[in-house]
Amino acid sequence: MSRDLETRLVESMRPLFGDFAESALQQQKAKLGIRDSMDRGEYLRLIEEIKAMCSVIAGPSIADRLYQGLVAIVREGA
Amino acid sequence: MALQKVESVAAVPRVKSYVYNLDEQMEGGIPQGAVVLVCGRPGSMKSSLTYFIMHMQALKEGRRGVYFTLEQNRASFARHLAHIGLNPDASDRVTILDVSALRRTFGDRGPKGDTNWLDAIVSQAASFKSQYECEIIAIDSMSALYSLHEFENPRRELFHFFEGLRALGVTIFLISEMYDPTKEIFARYEVEDFLADGVIHLKVDRRDGGSNLYLGIVKMRETRHSRDYFPLIVEPEGFEIVPH
């Protein structure tokens, strides 16, 4: 996974995950067995998981807004 | 030298509480950008009242808000709100952000084991405001936040915490639990009410097997306000105070 892309995803997650944004992303990567080199499909699986986690933390509406932002980042960067 | 009379003071923009009869008691509402303590003993409806104000602001004025809950989980809080007639799904403009879930998943020490929670909450609030443009923030509760933070110098650290919140330029509600029923200590370190711009006190009067709620505005900067305590009534339509 591109370090720059990962940083952008984490920054986008920060309003909802705070200091735990990086940990949340790494946890979901580990859960999916994702390694550093990822294709677009894996990115999309990853952000689907982040969306599900966000839905528990902050509700489906804001999770959907986060998801749209993450999708845009992945489309630009993957 | 005589003090010069101030001819006109610019009107302070207000955030209406939408508690029936309350806004008239404080020049139309809470000054926009104020940091307000909402204090009371357990069961005094601090959280419900605060969420109600945010909910009404979202519905009536389209103001976005974020409600940080540090101990009660989101689902439980939402069920409680539904029980008193507030549907958190009625508007997507108020986000209930479950920090307790993050704590359960990742622990209280933070990713590097040394999280300064006072700074972390201010930073997350700033980040949320920047990305989602919110105008009202609530932190529930100060006691929970204190349980996560190891103070060396409470007065100094709380000064910077309040200044950090104030610098966000949004209206802030801090839920503060009062423990000693015999004293009017509005927050644990007894400096919070000096640092805050406003203090709203919810009092529970328990006697003869029943209990009544009262609301008092102890302090509200830039505001001429009543200092009386008013009966607070919770109806299906919302909150109401009964003026004397």
Q: Flag whether pLDDT at B161 surpasses 80.
A: yes
Give the model's pLDDT for residue B117: 95
Q: What is the mean pLDDT of residues B125-144?
A: 97
B95 shares contact with chain A (CB less than 8 Å): yes
Residue B92: closest CA among chain A residues belongs to which residue? A61
Of B48, B73, B74, B75, the closest CA to residue B173 belongs to B48
Q: What is the mean pLDDT of chain B?
A: 93
Q: Flag whether pLDDT at B113 surpasses 90.
A: no
pLDDT tens-digit profile of B211-239?
Answer: 899 999 999 999 999 999 999 999 988 99
ipTM comes to 0.93
Rounded Cα distance, A47 and B144, in Å: 31
- Say which amino acid occupies A21: A
- Note whether B132 contacts A65, CB cutoff 8 Å: yes
pLDDT band at B48 (very low <50, low <70, confident <90, very high): very high
pLDDT tens-digit profile of B171-215?
Answer: 999 999 998 878 889 999 999 999 999 999 999 998 888 889 999
Q: Flag whether pLDDT at A53 surpasses 70.
A: yes
**Domains identified in chain B and CATH numbers:** 33-212 (3.40.50.300)
Q: Is B230 within 8 Å of B30 (Cβ atoms)?
A: no
Q: Sort out which chain B residues have CB atoms less than 8 A from A73's CB and list them.
A: none
Of B82, B180, B221, B200, the closest CA to residue B138 belongs to B200
Q: Flag whether pLDDT at B67 surpasses 70.
A: yes
Name the E strands within B99-160. 136-140
Nearest by CB: B110 against A19, A24, A27: A19
- Note whether A18 contacts B98, CB cutoff 8 Å: no
Of B206, B51, B242, B20, the closest CA to residue B138 belongs to B51
Token output for B113: 């084991």
Q: Flag whether pLDDT at A77 surpasses 90.
A: no
Give the model's pLDDT for residue A74: 93
Which 3-state string (H, E, C) describes B108-120? CCCCCCCCCHHHH
**B91: cis peptide before it, omega within 30°?**
no
pLDDT band at B89 (very low <50, low <70, confident <90, very high): confident
Token output for B11: 């009107």
pLDDT band at A2 (very low <50, low <70, confident <90, very high): confident
Q: Flag whether pLDDT at B72 surpasses 90.
A: yes
- Say which amino acid occupies B120: A
Residue whose entry in the numeric block shows the structure tokens 């919140």: B165
Give the model's pLDDT for residue B87: 87
pLDDT band at B243 (very low <50, low <70, confident <90, very high): very high
B115 shares contact with chain A (CB less than 8 Å): yes
> Which of B95, B122, B128 has the most A C-beta neighbours within 10 Å, making it the best mutation to test the interface with A?
B95
B211 shares contact with chain A (CB less than 8 Å): no
Name the E strands within B21-83. 30-31, 35-40, 65-69
- Note whether A61 contacts B110, CB cutoff 8 Å: no
Q: Flag whether pLDDT at B4 surpasses 60.
A: no
Q: Is B209 within 8 Å of B194 (Cβ atoms)?
A: no
B65-69, strands of its sheet edge to edge: B94-98, B65-69, B136-140, B171-177, B35-40, B198-207, B210-220, B229-235, B238-241
Q: Flag whether pLDDT at A50 surpasses 90.
A: yes
Total-model pTM: 0.94
Whole-Å CA distances, B235 to B64, B201, B215, B240: 24, 19, 15, 8
- Note whether A20 contacts B105, CB cutoff 8 Å: yes
Q: Sort out which chain A residues have CB atoms less than 8 A from B106's CB and list them.
A: 20, 23-24
Give the model's pLDDT for residue B144: 96
